[in-house]
Amino acid sequence: MRVPLLASLGAMACFTPFAHGAVTLADNDLTLNFGMDVQARAQVANASTGTNAAGAGAGSPYDVFRGAPGESNDVDFSMRRARLLMDGAYGTDWKFFMGLNADNFDRNGDNGLSGQAQTGAGAGGQNDSSRNVQLFKAYLRHIWKLDEDDNATLQGGLDYPFFNRAIIGDPWWLFPQQRASGNLMGNRAVGTRFMINGRMFDWGFDIDESMDPGQAATAQAYQTTGDHREGLFYSTRIEYTLFSDSGKKALYHEDYQGKPGHSLMLTADIGYDNSDYGLANDKVNAYCYGFEALYHLNGLSVLVEGRAMHTKESAYDAAGVNNNILSEVFCAQAGYAFPAMGITIEPAIRWQKLNLDSQHDEQASYNSAMTTGNGSAAVANSATTSALPKWLATYGGADAYNSGNVIDIGVNWIFTPYTLLQTAYTRWNGQTGQNGVHPDANIIRAQFQLYF
């Protein structure tokens, strides 16, 4: 077998694009596809804490980029995603994938050299570790052909489980930022998956490393008895296409970007994170489940979702303590794409309701991570509001925020199948405040994407 991986630059110009325009290398047995996902983002924000003295009017300023009181930067420039991707196949029954990323490069006002020490008041170690490149995904997959329409696959390696799709880095998101359901049990870990792909459905079952919600140091820091053993993460999901004009299962896309077609997909999943250390001598068990409906009619893309997560902390089993916490999120979004000015333009709208602790209202700013204690611990300035478990924030994605109602309004400018500009306005209202003042946030984002 001879694979022309070291072909000359002149020969590389002749490679023909394949799915999504990726560059392809191939011989009789082996196929390699190279691609990239680059998203450059600019965002401005104005927010308040929702806390102030009686009669003082609006809340104090809050910096949503750094997650702390104060004014936000005039503009926060960052690379939301920077990924180099490679997948391929060996024969007809082996497939593989490997990707590197440096996501959230210079996010939240960090723009120093990697490893550069911070100086001055409030210095906290090294500046801008976001510029470090790391392994994004790497897995190997074997495929068995069952019949004309059905396949079975076994996969091992580093990947997202076939589970909560809101957390997965998807170039077909309707808005620049992920859905609120990405806050609830988003996992990416080394593990294994068994999957069956049919004509109208996909079903999968994953077993992965646990999510380690409290692992800021080593297991020894969270367990003093010498038992450092943690459990595993388990999940299963099904995606079923009720109908499609192609007679085959639809693709799972938040946004079909005006492509012709007519389909309706329903999904359901459940995941269980077993026996993780969250705090000292405190093991966390959590399970999360969700349901979605995705409707596509030519230019119209609609998604409706509900998701819930139940968490239990072993260290808080005493009577009267809130050791069982229910988190919920609801989402409805739609976009309509149409040709104009030689490109495709897509206005979009989304409503979301996120409640991280159904038993208490949070007095918390946009992404302040009010996670200083267990669900029964009081938050400062409020005798009736409870904090969230310290580890809960680690379940969230890059665009995580606290409980409240969210409205997103945006326009997508789709230049080609591989390039688009997303512009969006976000309005977040928190659950509760002080002296009649509620925390809020207004964020404007513009994000350019190249994906092939």
Query: What are the tens digits of pLDDT across the range 90-133?
Result: 998 999 999 998 888 877 665 544 444 444 333 333 344 567 88
d(CA 330, CA 404): 11
Please state, for a pLDDT cut of 90, what percent of the chain lies above it: 44
Residues 197 and 245 sit within 8 Å (Cβ to Cβ):
no
- Residue carrying the six token digits 């009181």: 69
Query: Domain segments of the chain: what residues?
Result: 9-111+128-451
**Residue 435: predicted pLDDT:** 61
Fold of 9-111+128-451: Porin (2.40.160)
CA atoms within 13 A on the CB side of 65: 25
Residues 262 and 296 sit within 8 Å (Cβ to Cβ):
yes
Q: What is the pTM of this model?
A: 0.84
In the chain, what is the straight-line distance between the N-terminal and C-terminal CA atoms, in Å?
Answer: 27
**Residue 439: predicted pLDDT:** 86
pLDDT digits (tens, 9 = 90+) for 237-274: 999 999 999 999 999 999 999 999 999 999 999 999 88
What is the average per-residue pLDDT within 334-363? 90
415: tokens are: 């230049």
pLDDT digits (tens, 9 = 90+) for 275-330: 776 555 667 788 999 999 999 999 999 999 999 998 877 655 454 455 678 889 99
pLDDT digits (tens, 9 = 90+) for 204-223: 999 998 876 545 444 444 45
254: tokens are: 């938040």
pLDDT digits (tens, 9 = 90+) for 55-97: 444 568 888 887 778 888 889 898 888 999 999 999 989 999 9
Mapped to the 3 state alphabet, what secondary structure does the chain carry? Answer: CCCCCCCCHHHHCCCCECHHHCEEEECCCEEEEEEEEEEEEEEEEEEECCCCCCCCCCCCEEECCCCEECCCCCCEEEEEEEEEEEEEEECCCEEEEEEEECCCECHHHCCCCCCEECCCCCCCCEECHHHCCEEEEEEEEEEEECCCCCEEEEEEEEECCCCCHHHCCCCCCCCCCCCHHHHCCCCCEEEEEEEEECCCEEEEEEEEECCCCCCCCCHHHHCCCCCCCCCEEEEEEEEEEEEECCCCCCCCCCCCCCCCCEEEEEEEEEEEEEEEEEECCEEEEEEEEEEEEEEEECCEEEEEEEEEEEEEEHHHCCCCCCCEEEEEEEEEEEEECEEECCEEEEEEEEEEEEECCCCCCCCCCCCCCCCCCCCCCECCCCCCCECCCCCHHHHCCCCCCCCEEEEEEEEEEEEECCEEEEEEEEEEEECCCECCECCEEEEEEEEEEEEC
